[in-house]
């Protein structure tokens, strides 16, 4: 292995030469306490920055095994280390100067969710630590300014590494707190089924966010407090006794006046599929990890999804058992979203009337009298929601402020009253009894077919070099295909979009053969990530990009929205 001094000499030699001479810096260099690896060098100062990684041996990093042996603790520790490094890097970024991206020092920008990322990996066997970062190699115009790069590699980076990647140098308390919280969160998630719950919202939680563009907690918000009827207490492995609202399995209705906090509660449940960092306010808002937000998504493409449990006998005679369209309506898109969520193994559906197609959700009595069932292709969700639970074990939480019809089918009814939940089940059921439903019960539907076998797509193939660009939470562009994920609301991070793009690329190369079902493809991708980590998704020569692990449900959602994929 080359030494740091070798690198210093090299930098002296290439100073003031033209930019491509930077390519010679590729390689690994032993610095005091760590190895700096230059994995990919950008082609010019305006291109995507160079990719570097820092490797610290286990005995040097010296993190106690108790911090990382358990997988959930390890993910939390990796997240904590990434955030620490990012804080250091942010102060030093662009302190070295030059044209284009010169001087940039960046690692993953973590949001409020704690995710497994390629940015940082701690090997559970050896304790070895790997941290990835991007650096804009400095130039004046297109002339190498190696003195500025020297400042970064020999001045700034060692400071960042010292301050964040060695246990002895660091504020250890925060690391233990992060790992302990992760274990508490996992504990709650695992207890949910045993307690007959599909979600838990701790007392004292802060659900609303600072603004539509900030995911930080709202200041001065009304803290959450469970109604007595739904209150559950848990003894956490680390955090002591905690109480909060347990949402029972089955069908739960959230009602209340406009602006009383219904959607805010639902949104918190949606993101409760993930763990949140300390100080977020939603640390102990936990939904089963297979919770799926269902909404209308006009215009999405659908390929061979069996929506016949909701829609059949279309006037154009189209087959709804393998429904295909390039431009779905509100109701067909929402029906497809439900069935595809079932295919993805959803245990809980989360629905907000604000983002639903009305004709998919209900059909009122008067309308049923005027337009007879035979004339209506849609069996609304209200007629299927019970069977979803009774036959498939899939619970539903629905926000419905405007239709009382759901009172009849709900097991529990929660009213949001000035941001405080109240259990009004008895009251609402009493009122509902005075308005019995006269319509005949719906015909039972056979289980949907999930027999979809994706074939390779010419749009995804591209040339030898993969062109992949994350569009943040809006989607991902892979070669000639752009996948629109704007309405996949539980996508938490742009790095998840990037990982989804790599899932497509990997599947295209290794898995899509027209024989494996979509489920088998996704199973294989998940096994790969479980076994070898996210890195295994990309056979990228130019260093591993920043990726965050998507949930199984979002992998399905991505494949379902990849229009060129023939299923």
Task: Give the residues lining the site for ligand ADP (CB under 6 A).
Answer: 207-208, 218, 221-222, 256, 258-264, 416, 419
Q: Single out the residue of 469, 462, 523, 456 nearest to residue 500, CA to CA.
A: 469
**Binding partner of 300, given Mg ion, ligand ADP, none, CB within 5-8 angstroms per partner class:** none
**Minimum distance, C-beta of residue 200 to ligand ADP, in the bound complex (Å):** 17
- Based on CB atoms, which residue is closest to ligand ADP, 420 or 528? 420
Assess contact for 170 and 178: CB atoms under 8 A.
no
Q: How far is the CB of 551 from ligand ADP (least distance, A)?
A: 24
Under the criterion CB under 5 A, does residue 415 sit at the interface with Mg ion? no
Q: Of 283, 76, 70, which is closest to residue 189 (Cα–Cα)?
A: 283
HSE of 409, CA atoms in CB hemisphere, 13 A: 26
Check residue 354 for interaction with Mg ion (CB under 5 A).
yes
Q: State the binding partner of 260 from ligand ADP, Mg ion, none, CB within 5 to 8 A by kind.
A: ligand ADP
Residue among 212 and 315 whose Cβ is closer to ligand ADP: 212
Element (H, E) at 240: strand 240-248
Shortest Cβ 365–Mg ion spacing (Å) = 25
The runs of H, that is alpha helices, within 385-493 are 385-392, 425-433, 458-461
Kindly tell me which residue out of 42, 263, 470, 490 binds Mg ion, with binding defined by CB under 5 A: 263
Contact 38, 25 (CB under 8 A): yes
Give 108 or 263: the residue with its C-beta nearer to Mg ion: 263
Based on the shown chain and the rule CB under 5 A, indicate whether residue 190 belongs to the binding site for Mg ion: no
> Does residue 185 bind Mg ion (CB under 5 A)?
no
Q: Cβ 264 to ligand ADP, closest distance in Å?
A: 3
Paired strand residues for 56: 129
Per CB under 5 A, does 259 bind Mg ion?
A: no
Can you tell me the distance from the alpha carbon of 521 to that of 508, in angstroms, rounded to the nearest whole number?
10
Cite the DSSP H helix spans in 378-464.
Answer: 385-392, 425-433, 458-461
Are 165 and 81 in contact by the 8 Å Cβ rule? The answer is yes
Which of the stretches 258-266, 343-351, 413-421, 521-529 binds Mg ion when contact is defined by CB under 5 A? 258-266
The smaller minimum CB distance to Mg ion, of residues 354 and 431, is found at: 354
Give the residue at shortest CB distance from Mg ion.
263
Of 99 and 263, CB closest to Mg ion: 263
Least distance in Å: CB of 423 to ligand ADP?
A: 17
CB of 203 to ligand ADP, least distance (A): 12
Q: How far apart are CA 83 and CA 555, in angstroms?
A: 26
Q: Name which of Mg ion, ligand ADP, none residue 321 binds, using a CB cut-off of 5 to 8 Å depending on partner kind.
A: none
Residue 485 Cβ vs Mg ion, minimum distance, rounded to whole Å = 22
Residue 361 Cβ, how far from ligand ADP at the closest point, in Å? 15
In the complex, what is the shortest distance from the CB of residue 267 to ligand ADP, in angstroms, rounded to a whole number?
Answer: 7
- Where does 257-360 show beta strands of DSSP type E? 275-276, 285-287, 291-294, 302-305, 323-325, 348-352
**Closest CB to ligand ADP among residues 225, 300:** 225
Write the CA distances from 479 to 128, 476, 484, integer angstroms. Answer: 35, 10, 14
Q: Is the dihedral of CA 500, 504, 505, 506 positive or negative?
A: positive
Strand extents, DSSP E, 136-196: 139-140, 143-144
Q: Which is nearer to ligand ADP, 421 or 550 (CB)?
A: 421
Do 304 and 323 meet the contact criterion of CB atoms below 8 Å apart?
yes
- Please report, in angstroms and rounded to a whole number, the separation of the first and last CA atoms in the chain: 49
Residue 264 interacts with which of ligand ADP, Mg ion, none, CB < 5 to 8 Å by class: ligand ADP
**Least gap, CB of 400 to ligand ADP (angstroms):** 11
Q: Note whether 534 and 116 are within 8 A (CB).
A: yes
Q: Is residue 324 packed enough to be buried (19+ CB in 10 Å), middle (13-18) or exposed (0-12)?
A: middle
Nearer to ligand ADP by Cβ, of 254 and 504: the residue is: 254
Nearer to ligand ADP, 222 or 426 (CB): 222
Of 61 and 397, CB closest to Mg ion:
397
Contact flag: residue 356 with Mg ion (CB under 5 A): no
Residue 330 CB, nearest approach to Mg ion (Å) = 17
Nearer to ligand ADP, 222 or 427 (CB): 222
- Which of 121, 135, 126, 111 lies closest to 22, judged by CA? 135
Alpha carbon distance 358, 380 (integer Å):
9
208 binds, among ligand ADP, Mg ion, none (CB under 5 to 8 A by kind): ligand ADP
Q: Is 264 one of the binding residues for Mg ion (CB under 5 A)?
A: no
Two tokens at 238?
């680390």
Number of Cβ within a 10 Å radius of residue 156: 20
Instruction: Report how far residue 33's alpha carbon sits from residue 27's, in angstroms, rounded to the nearest whole number.
Output: 17
244 binds, among ligand ADP, Mg ion, none (CB under 5 to 8 A by kind): none
Q: Which does 83 bind (CB under 5 to 8 A by kind): ligand ADP, Mg ion, none?
A: none
* Chain positions contacting Mg ion, by CB under 5 A: 263, 354
């Amino acid at each position: 292995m080359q030494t740091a001094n070798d690198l210093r000499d090299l930098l002296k030699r290439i100073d003031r030469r033209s930019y491509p001479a930077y390519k010679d810096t590729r390689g690994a260099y032993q610095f005091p306490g760590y190895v700096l690896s230059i994995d990919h060098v950008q082609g010019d100062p305006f291109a995507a920055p160079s990719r570097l990684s820092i490797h610290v041996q286990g005995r040097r990093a010296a993190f106690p095994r108790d911090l990382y042996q358990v997988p959930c603790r390890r993910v939390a520790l990796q997240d904590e280390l990434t955030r620490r490094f990012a804080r250091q890097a942010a102060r030093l970024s662009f302190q070295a100067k030059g044209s284009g991206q010169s001087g940039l020092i960046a690692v993953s920008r973590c949001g409020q969710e704690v995710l497994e990322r390629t940015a940082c990996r701690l090997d559970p066997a050896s304790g070895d630590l790997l941290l990835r970062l991007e650096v804009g190699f400095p130039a004046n115009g297109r002339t190498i300014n190696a003195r500025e790069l020297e400042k970064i590699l020999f001045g700034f980076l060692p400071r960042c590494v010292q301050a964040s990647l060695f246990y002895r140098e660091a504020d250890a308390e925060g690391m233990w707190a992060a790992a302990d919280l992760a274990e508490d969160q996992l504990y709650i998630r695992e207890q949910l089924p045993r307690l007959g719950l599909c979600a838990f919202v701790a007392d004292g939680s802060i659900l609303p966010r600072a603004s539509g563009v900030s995911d930080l907690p709202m200041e001065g918000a009304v803290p959450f407090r469970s109604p007595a009827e739904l209150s559950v207490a848990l003894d956490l492995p680390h955090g002591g006794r905690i109480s909060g609202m347990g949402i029972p399995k089955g069908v739960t209705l959230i009602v209340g006046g406009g602006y009383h906090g219904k959607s805010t509660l639902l949104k918190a449940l949606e993101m409760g599929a993930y763990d949140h960092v300390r100080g977020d306010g939603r640390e102990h808002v936990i939904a089963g990890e297979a919770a799926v937000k269902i909404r209308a998504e006009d215009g999405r493409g659908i390929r061979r999804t069996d929506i016949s449990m909701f829609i059949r006998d279309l006037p154009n005679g189209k087959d709804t058992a393998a429904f295909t369209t390039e431009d779905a309506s509100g109701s067909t898109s929402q029906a497809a979203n439900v069935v595809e969520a079932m295919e993805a193994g959803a245990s809980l559906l989360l629905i907000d009337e604000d983002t639903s197609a009305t004709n998919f959700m209900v059909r009122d009595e008067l309308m049923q009298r005027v337009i007879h069932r035979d004339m209506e292709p849609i069996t609304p969700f209200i007629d299927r929601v019970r069977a979803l639970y009774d036959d498939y074990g899939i619970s539903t939480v629905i926000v419905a402020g405007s239709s009382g019809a759901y009172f009849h089918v709900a097991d529990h009814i929660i009213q949001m009253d000035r941001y405080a939940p109240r259990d009004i089940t008895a009251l609402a059921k009493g009122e509902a009894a005075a308005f019995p439903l006269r319509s005949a019960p719906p015909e039972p539907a056979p289980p949907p077919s999930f027999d979809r076998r994706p074939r390779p797509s010419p749009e995804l193939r591209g040339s030898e070099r993969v062109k992949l660009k994350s569009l943040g939470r809006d989607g991902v562009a892979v070669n000639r295909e752009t996948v629109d994920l704007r309405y996949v609301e539980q996508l938490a991070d742009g790095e998840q979009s990037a990982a989804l793009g790599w899932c497509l690329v990997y599947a295209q190369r290794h898995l899509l053969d027209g024989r494996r079902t979509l489920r088998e493809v996704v199973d294989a991708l998940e096994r790969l990530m479980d076994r070898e980590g996210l890195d295994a998704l990309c056979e990228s020569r130019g260093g591993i990009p920043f990726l965050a692990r998507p949930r199984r449900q979002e992998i399905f959602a991505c494949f379902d929205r990849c229009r060129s994929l023939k299923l």
